[in-house]
Amino acid sequence: MKLRPLHDRVIIKRLEAETKSAGGIVIPDAAAEKPVKGEVLAAGTGKIQEDGKVRPMAVKVGDIVLFGKYSGTEVKVDGQELLVMREEDLIAVVEK
């Protein structure tokens, strides 16, 4: 069973915050609005512009992304905690 996000929504699997290390991204534990890292599991077809055209997504399945801690809505699929949010809630893509 799979989820197909509508429009500009993405489905994200949270990745554990890494501890400080070479090349690792450290998310401060106490920050109230700390960003969170995750992997894009599914992405919509894109945001519908005011003229009705679809703007392709800037992220794709497999991308590692940063987003706000409280962004999105949590869903459980196949026993796995996932997040659904809009592309505009994404802050940055972690380049590999």
Binding-site ranges for its own copies (CB under 8 A):
1-7, 9, 11, 20, 22-28, 31, 33-35, 42, 48-53, 55, 58-59, 66, 68, 73-79, 84, 87, 90-96
Of residues 4 and 62, the one with the C-beta less far from its own copies: 4
Which two tokens mark 70? Answer: 């409280």
CB of 62 to its own copies, least distance (A): 14
Q: Rounded to whole angstroms, how far apart are CA atoms 21 and 7?
A: 37
Q: Rounded to whole angstroms, how far apart are CA atoms 66 and 34?
A: 10
Of residues 15 and 77, the one with the C-beta less far from its own copies: 77
CB of 53 to its own copies, least distance (A): 6
Q: Rounded to whole angstroms, how far apart are CA atoms 56 and 85?
A: 16
CB of 26 to its own copies, least distance (A): 4
Give ∠ CA 74-20-82 in degrees, rounded to 5: 10
